[in-house]
Amino acid sequence: MERDLPSDRFMELDAGDDDALLIQRIDSNEIIYCPPKRKYKLVGKYVMGDKLGEGSYGKVKECLDSTTLQRRAIKIMKRKTLRRIPNGDQNVQREIRLLRRLRHHNVISLYDVYHNEAKGKIYMVMEFCVTGLQEMLDRSKDKKLPIWQANKYFVQLVEGLEYLHSRGVVHKDIKPGNLLLTSDNMLKISDFGVAEQLDVLAGKDEITTSQGSPLFQPPEVAGGARVFSGFKVDVWSAGCTLYNLTSGKYPFEGENMFRLFENICEKPLVMPEELDPVLKTLLEGMLRKEPSERLSLNLVKSHDWCCKKHPRTEEEVSLGGDDDRHSISIVPYLRSNYYDSESEEELFTEHQLNESRNQAECKSEMSGTDLQETRGAHTKRRRRKPTSCISVKSITSCKQS
Amino acid sequence: MSRLKSESFALELRSPSMVSFEASSDNYEIWSHLGSVCGGMGAVWVAKHKPSKKYVAIKIYELDKCGDELELIQHEIRTVRQLRHPNIIQYMTSFTAAQQLWIIMPFLGYTSASRLVATHFSEGLPEPALALIVREILQGLSYLHSKNIIHRAVRGSHILIDSNGRVILTGLRHSVMVGDNMRWQKTVHCYPPQARYNLNWASPELLEQDLYGYNERSDIYSVGIVVCELGNGEVPYRGIPSTLMLLEKLEDRVPFLYDASTVPQIAENGQGWGMATDSGVGGSVGDNLTSLAITQRLFSPAAHDLVALALTRCPDQRPTADELLHHQFVRYTRKLNGTLPQYLHPVVPITQQTEIGDSVPDLLEESLDQISLNDEVTWDF
């Protein structure tokens, strides 16, 4: 009983189905696609929208708070999937528990949690972010940000971390992929799946495990220390993040996990030549192998590079990319709810699809001026989505060639 | 009312009449409850300033009840203090008294434009009154926009009118400064924290929350909605789900003024009028449409044009406050002989109703009771 799957996938075949052994040739005009229907669906007071992303834990969709009309993101997780992930259910419960107690403008907010026992689903309604630092890096030239922009985000990261540490929370998985951005350029630390709440009364930040991303792990974790300072783990990861944002590289790499960890523990830190000396001292301080020598967050915050004003010399890497406005995705869902949507249903064939693909390719090879036309929301959607509209599995007599 | 020693934290402003209003709750005699504000966090009272025997309105917030809103209230006080314009509210003083925050402001005889509509002009204000109010609002907005402030909550209940007919814009706790955190930016992206109160007036680009953001022209859209609100006697989109309102706005089905030129054509089309005429259904599932007076009146073409211009979907093509001040509908006010109070006749300011009895609190109370003020919305200072 999976209702999320688009129910309107179908394929039309002219040839006889009996000939199961032959590979049939199907004209591209005979493969008909139906755009996925955007069915209006409510979870609590939230109207569901398009999918924003997918992770090992589940998917994230955009949604709209029907009382305030504010855009939100909703993380949808299935109990069944969680059970298959080591500590999956535990991690989700911990994330919910942690986020409920946190409130800071640089930490992602959790607004609502819903459980649907019948469907075995957990919904987490969170702040809506248009993009993340990793996405921006992927899109940018040389996979790095202009110094002034990196500074702007790093300062916010430090502020968020400072708050988390003041509440006794160690994030343990700081990396560009977990740093999201709202439309007004606010950085939000997200994904508290492996974060840890320290015992506030103990007055120490000792932790024993860390399951964060390998590239951003400090030597004490890579080397397998039994007990280590939690706060300094976050400082290291934040240092790796800053290194990555400003140079486009990682401080330590390795062809496999073993090599990587070996390098993190033993290889001396190599600074990218082009960075200015002030930034180099900061990176060097944050990436000291010995946790006790590593800068504390406080020292990072008051470091010259953080306090200094950086001139806007280079062009900003925009949040949206070329002309992606990250528009609200709810409109078609509302339309299908409030207006009669049947008439608007348009079908298109594989042939048409290929044509439009070819056209788009031709145009993009030409000058940039013609590109505008093909970038309309309509053509874009058609180009991106169709593969998901057809399920080859359901037709036994047909195999993809 | 507890009379507790107050601690002033705000600077005292001198009123135009050079009476100084002390930052002390002892000096005010509270008379009558006017309404609640900010979702019940506070209340507005009519009071008398004892030394000068003047009427004032006092907004009292219960600090214990304020959570996040406290920040907005402080923002409001700070913002208002920086502004000085005849069409923008001025606070005489503000101070804390025990667990309360008191904001002293002038008492405005005609109260709010939306209340006028609710109590006396259920089918809308006469066009001259509408034009005068719009002119003053645009002047106020032009000033705010020159200070890089977006009001974000222009609506009938934030338009107050004093006994001389001066129009005053309030509700600045919803406002935002452009380029507050990032100097080079000309647009704002943050969603107003209390947007839910003002959704019907909000511009489509504000509601879209995309990377385009919104700017001061968002207020102009709200002016268009306000003209419909005050001209029709009810706010567009009243009583429809907010998600449908959103859809209507994003699909550019705009509200309009009801009169003989717009309403009959709707009636002919029968039930499906909203959709068929492409004219903002939602807009307007109004009860008022059936009224005879509406089907017989006629707004000037200039009035219709101003509404259409102000409600332009694309903010870049929407006129600015300054441009609208030169619009025919606004220029037309220069030819008017009367003043706003004359066009509001027979309504008289609340203060005048009671001045005959001269400072008899009961009388004021009585006249206030007649106009049921239980609706939070109509008295949102």
Nearest chain B residue (CA) to A319: B211
If asked whether residues A146 and A293 sit together in one domain, one would say yes
Give the model's pLDDT for residue B347: 85
Q: Tell me the CATH number at B219.
A: 1.10.510.10
Question: Which residues, numbered 85 to 144 in chain A, qualify as contacts with chain B under a Cβ-Cβ cut-off of 8 Å?
Answer: 128, 130
- Give a yes or no: residue B227 inside a domain: yes
Give the model's pLDDT for residue A48: 95
- Give a yes or no: residue A81 inside a domain: yes
Does any CB of chain A come closer than 8 Å to the CB of residue B251? yes
The answer to whether A47 touches A334, Cβ cutoff 8 Å, is yes
Question: Which residues, numbered 10 to 49 in chain A, qualify as contacts with chain B under a Cβ-Cβ cut-off of 8 Å?
Answer: 47
Contacts of A112 (CB under 8 A, 6+ apart): A44, A46, A123, A124, A125
Give the model's pLDDT for residue B370: 41
Q: How many domains does chain B have?
A: 2
Do the chains contact at B211 and A326, CB–CB below 8 Å?
yes
If asked whether residues A124 and A205 sit together in one domain, one would say no
| Domain, as residue range, for A107 | 42-129+327-336+360-400
B64, burial (CB in 10 Å: exposed 0-12, middle 13-18, buried 19+)? exposed
If asked whether residues B79 and B37 sit together in one domain, one would say yes
Residue B61 CA, chain-centre distance (Å), reads 20
Mutate to test the interface with B, among A153, A184, A309 (most CBs of B within 10 A): A184
Do the chains contact at B210 and A334, CB–CB below 8 Å?
no
Host H or E run for residue B134: helix B127-146
CA angle A337, A338, A342 (to 5 degrees): 70
Q: Tell me the CATH number at A84.
A: 3.30.200.20
A232 is in an annotated binding site: no
Give A287-296 contacts, CB < 8 A, sequence gap 24+: A287/A236, A287/A239, A287/A240, A287/A243, A287/A251, A289/A218, A289/A219, A289/A265, A291/A218, A291/A220, A291/A228, A291/A229, A291/A232, A291/A236, A292/A229, A292/A232, A294/A218, A294/A232, A294/A235, A294/A236, A295/A235, A296/A231, A296/A232, A296/A235
Nearest chain B residue (CA) to A66: B243
Nearest chain A residue (CA) to B179: A184
Do the chains contact at A68 and B243, CB–CB below 8 Å?
no
Flag residues of chain B having pLDDT under 50: 1-16, 269-285, 355-363, 365-379
Do the chains contact at A183 and B211, CB–CB below 8 Å?
yes
If asked whether residues A112 and A219 sit together in one domain, one would say no
- A173 included as an active-site residue: yes
Kindly provide the ipTM of the predicted complex, given to two decimals: 0.81
If asked whether residues A110 and A213 sit together in one domain, one would say no
Catalytic residue among A173, A191, A205, A234: A173
A348, burial (CB in 10 Å: exposed 0-12, middle 13-18, buried 19+)? middle
Instruction: Tally the residues of chain A.
Output: 401
Do the chains contact at B209 and A320, CB–CB below 8 Å?
no
Nearest chain B residue (CA) to A47: B243
Give B202-209 contacts, CB < 8 A, sequence gap 24+: B202/B152, B203/B249, B203/B315, B204/B249, B204/B250, B204/B252, B204/B313, B205/B315, B206/B152, B207/A69, B207/A328, B207/B246, B207/B249, B207/B250, B208/A327, B208/A328, B208/B250, B209/A70, B209/A71, B209/A128, B209/A183, B209/A328
Does any CB of chain B come closer than 8 Å to the CB of residue A66? yes
Flag residues of chain A having pLDDT under 50: 1-16, 365-401
Give the model's pLDDT for residue B274: 40
If asked whether residues B206 and B308 sit together in one domain, one would say yes
Q: How many domains does chain A have?
A: 2
Do the chains contact at A69 and B182, CB–CB below 8 Å?
no
The answer to whether B194 touches B188, Cβ cutoff 8 Å, is no
| Domain, as residue range, for B145 | 111-274+285-344
